[in-house]
Chain A
C-alpha cells in the first residue's frame, strides 16, 4: 500500500501510472535481512499469521468449550462441520474422515493466507506468490500418491490410475499416456496455478481500481466521476472475500477428490 500511495503521489504531471508488478509483490526482508535462511518479509509474516490464527481460534474454542457453543466456539464448530459435510462426506464418504485434520488445516491455512488481501493495511494475498501454492500442491501430490500406494499397492495403483476401466484396446496407449500426464503432472501444476493465478488476478484488480481512485482524487475537474471506480473498488473487495473463501474451498475439495480417487479405484 505504501508503494501504491507513493506511485500515485509521486507524479503530478498527469497520466495514469500503474506501479510495476515487482513493487506490488516483491517485499524487502525486514528481519534477519541479507540472504540469511531466516530472512522474513511481509509474505513470510502473512504465512506465519495464517499458521497461528487458526491455532489460536481452535485453542480458544477448546478452552472455553460448552455444550451450547458461543462466540469463537461457534466459528470453530461450524467450520469443522462445513469441511466435514461439504468436503469430506461429498467426496470420500465416511472412511475419508481420517483425512479430516489434513483437509481442515489446508483449508484454514489457505483461507487465512488469502483473506489478508482485503484486510486494511496488509492488503496482500500471500498466495499471490507462487512458492506456497507450489509447495502445497507438491504436498498434496505426495499425500494422494502415498494413500493410493498404501491402499492398493504400488503396481495396482499405477495400473488403476493409468488404465481406466472400459477402454477399447486400440485406444489404450493414447488413453494411458493422457491419464498418466493428467494425473501425475497436470494435477499438481493446475492445483498450484489455480490458487496462485486467482489470488494474483484479484490483487491486481484491486490495485488497478485503487490506483484509478487515487489518480481521479487528484484531478478536480473529474470530480463528477470520482465515485465510479470507488464503488467498483468496494464491490470488488466484497467479491475478493468470496474468491478467497472459494479458492480455499476448491483447493481443499480437489485434494479430497484426489485422495478419494486414490482410496477407491474406479470399477
Chain B
C-alpha cells in the first residue's frame, strides 16, 4: 500500500514536471509570434521613415513589454509548479 502511494506520488511529481514544461512551452508560442510581429513591423516602419525611428523604437519596446508579459507569466507558473 505504501509502495503504491509512493508510486502515485512519484507519478504526480512526474506529471507536474511534464505539465510545467508543456505549460511554459505553450505559453511561449503566442508571445513569440507576437514579438516577431511587433519587431518586424517596427523595422519596416523605421526603414520607411528613418526620421521617426526614435518614436517607433519607444513604441516597439512598449509593445514588446506588453506581449512578453504573457510568456513571463508562463515562466512563473513553471517555477511555481516545479519548486513551490
A residues with a Cβ closer than 8 A to B are: 21-22, 85-87, 90-91, 190, 193-194, 196-198, 200-201, 246, 249-250, 253-254, 257
Q: Are B58 and A86 in contact (CB under 8 A)?
A: yes
Cross-interface CB contact of B79 among A86, A90, A198, A200, cutoff 8 Å: A200
Cross-interface CB contact of B65 among A194, A196, A197, cutoff 8 Å: A194
Count residues of chain B with CB under 8 A from any CB of chain A: 16
Q: How far is the CB of B34 from chain A (nearest CB, A)?
A: 15
- Across the A-B interface, the 3 shortest Cβ-Cβ residue pairs: A197-B72, A90-B58, A190-B69
Chain B residues positioned under 8 Å from A85 (CB to CB): 54
Question: In this assembly, does B11 line the interface, its C-beta being within 8 Å of a C-beta of chain A?
Answer: no
Q: A21-B83, A86-B54, A90-B54 are in contact. Are A254 and B65 (CB under 8 A)?
A: yes
Q: How far is the CB of B36 from chain A (nearest CB, A)?
A: 17
Chain A residues positioned under 8 Å from B66 (CB to CB): 190
**Main SS class of interface, A:** helix
Question: In this assembly, does B4 line the interface, its C-beta being within 8 Å of a C-beta of chain A?
Answer: no
Q: Are A197 and B75 in contact (CB under 8 A)?
A: yes
Chain A residues positioned under 8 Å from B58 (CB to CB): 86-87, 90-91, 253
Q: Are B62 and A193 in contact (CB under 8 A)?
A: no
Q: How far is the CB of A183 from chain B (nearest CB, A)?
A: 13
Chain B residues positioned under 8 Å from A197 (CB to CB): 72-73, 75-76
Q: Are A90 and B55 in contact (CB under 8 A)?
A: yes
Chain A residues positioned under 8 Å from B65 (CB to CB): 194, 250, 253-254
Q: Are B61 and A250 in contact (CB under 8 A)?
A: yes
Chain B residues positioned under 8 Å from A253 (CB to CB): 58, 61-62, 65
Chain B residues positioned under 8 Å from A257 (CB to CB): 62
Give complex CA distance A27, B64 in Å: 33
Give complex CA distance A254, B66 in Å: 9
Q: A21-B83, A90-B54 are in contact. Are A254 and B62 (CB under 8 A)?
A: yes
Q: Are B69 and A193 in contact (CB under 8 A)?
A: yes
Ordered by A's residue number, 6 sampled pairs between the chains whose C-beta atoms are within 8 Å are: A86-B58, A90-B55, A246-B61, A250-B62, A250-B64, A257-B62
